[in-house]
């Protein structure tokens, strides 16, 4: 999954329309549902969930998430 990035210990803070507000690496970012990879690897889907988030690398870079190497 080279084009995707996995983040652990992600908390879903809330939902608004087509996106989730997630706390990733001590940063709150909006993740559109359409960009959340829904596989057995991904464990968050709704507010209150805490677990693994899988998103495209380009989105992680655009959101400025530190754990992503360019």
pTM given for the model: 0.86
**What is the token pair recorded at 46?**
């709704």
**Residue 4's beta-bridge partner residues?**
56
pLDDT in tens, 22-65: 999 889 999 999 999 888 878 898 999 999 999 999 999 999 99
Domain ranges of the chain: 4-62
Fold of the domain spanning 4-62: OB fold (Dihydrolipoamide Acetyltransferase, E2P) (2.40.50)
- On the question of pLDDT at 67 being above 80, the answer is no
């Amino acid at each position: 999954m080279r084009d995707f990035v996995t983040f652990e210990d992600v908390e879903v803070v809330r939902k608004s329309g087509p996106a989730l507000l997630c706390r990733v690496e001590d940063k709150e970012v909006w993740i559109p549902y359409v960009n959340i990879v829904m596989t057995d690897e991904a464990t968050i889907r709704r507010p209150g969930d805490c677990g693994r988030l899988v998103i495209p690398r380009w989105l992680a870079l655009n959101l400025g998430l530190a754990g992503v190497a360019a």
